């Protein structure tokens, strides 16, 4: 089965993700003190890997972590994982993990010395994945908000508790996904994806200052001039089209808080342009 095409690596060992383990004293496990990147693999090739690694490095520097492994170190491991999993001609989802390593005491305080990469911990996971495209119903969360001032909002950390609760809130309301507001009062993002709005023939996305994650697809679309930042209020305008996009796929939002939205296949062209 394709679902069995999963492989992981940690501390020089290869195995199935369910079989390998890490220290119970790892700060990533204890405090969610770590970073990860999710990379789409298409026909055996990791997409936008250099972009992911740049964000990974910038996030580590922002949070006072040691620099994670670079592309020269990672590439042999990644391609070996692709071969071992049988995905050389198939699609997959690659997760690169970087934790601060084992806690030295029960206290959350970090040592004053410069972060040591040898005390940090890296592991990767690769599994079969088909890019996700389709329709989704959404609500705007009443409980959870992204903190525009927090450094953590600018990094893809292990801490997904807020997103989990927002998604739970959506399911309780009969929807599939939740959109998060920012502490600034503007729309921010989905639980695991960036928001893009097609409005008056323009492609818009919430400002980075709203506290949305600087997603790789979002960042590349901005660089290519395909979309532009805007302050987006939680109000649907006539003829609006709303989409969620991340490295593993896109979804058209067909309703928000039970208010119907126009859907379109135009996002497919945008998706292809970003990946090209």
Q: What is the DSSP string of 162-226?
A: HHHHHHHHHHHTT-SEEEEEETTSSEEEESSSEEEEEETTEEEEE-GGGT----HHHHHHHHTTS
Domain-by-domain residue ranges, the chain? Answer: 2-128, 132-275
Query: Which one of 3.30.200.20, 3.30.470.10, 3.20.20.80, 3.40.50.2300 gives the CATH number of domain 2-128?
Result: 3.30.470.10
Q: What's the confidence (pLDDT) of residue 3? A: 52
- Segments in the chain below pLDDT 50: 1
Cα end-to-end distance, the chain, whole Å:
30
Q: What's the confidence (pLDDT) of residue 2? A: 57
Helix or strand holding residue 254 (H, E): strand 249-256
Q: Which of helix, strand or coil describes residue 58?
A: helix
Q: What's the confidence (pLDDT) of residue 134? A: 94
Q: What's the confidence (pLDDT) of residue 61? A: 96
70 within 8 A of 50, measured Cβ to Cβ: no
**Domain 132-275 in this protein, CATH class:** alpha beta
Classify strands 92-99 and 132-146 as parallel, antiparallel or unpaired. Answer: unpaired
Q: What's the confidence (pLDDT) of residue 1? A: 46
Same topology between domain 2-128 and domain 132-275: no
213 within 8 A of 192, measured Cβ to Cβ: no
Half-sphere exposure (CA, 13 Å, Cβ side) for 8? 16
> String of b and e for 90-113 (b: at least 16 CB within 10 Å)?
bbbbbebbbbbbbbeeeeeeeeee
171 within 8 A of 232, measured Cβ to Cβ: no
pTM of the predicted protein model: 0.95
Task: Report the percent of the chain where pLDDT is more than 90.
Answer: 90
């Amino acid at each position: 089965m394709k679902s069995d095409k999963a492989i992981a690596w940690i501390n020089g060992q290869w195995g199935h993700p369910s079989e390998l383990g890490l220290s119970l004293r790892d700060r990533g496990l204890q405090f969610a003190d770590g970073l990860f990147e999710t990379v789409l693999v298409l026909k055996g090739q990791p997409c936008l890997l250099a972009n992911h690694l740049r964000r990974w490095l910038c996030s580590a520097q922002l949070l006072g972590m040691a620099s994670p492994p670079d592309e020269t170190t990672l590439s042999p491991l990644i391609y070996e994982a692709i071969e071992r999993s049988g995905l050389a001609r198939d699609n997959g989802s690659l997760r690169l993990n970087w934790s601060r390593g084992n806690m030295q005491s029960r206290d959350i305080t970090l040592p004053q010395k410069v972060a040591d990469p040898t005390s940090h911990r890296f592991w990767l996971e690769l599994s079969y994945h088909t890019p996700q495209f389709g329709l989704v119903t959404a609500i705007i969360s009443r409980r959870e908000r992204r903190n525009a001032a927090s450094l953590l909002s600018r990094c893809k950390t292990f801490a997904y508790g807020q997103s989990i609760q927002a998604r739970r809130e959506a399911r309780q309301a009969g929807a599939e996904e939740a959109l998060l507001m920012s502490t600034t009062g503007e729309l921010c993002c989905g639980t695991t994806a960036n928001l893009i709005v097609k409005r008056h023939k323009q492609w818009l996305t919430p400002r980075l200052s709203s506290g949305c994650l600087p997603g790789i697809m979002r960042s590349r679309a901005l660089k290519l001039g395909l979309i532009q930042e805007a302050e987006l209020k939680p109000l649907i305008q006539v003829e609006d089209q709303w989409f969620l996009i991340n490295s593993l796929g896109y979804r058209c939002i067909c309703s928000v808080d039970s208010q119907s939205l126009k859907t379109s296949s135009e996002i497919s062209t945008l998706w292809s342009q970003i990946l090209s």
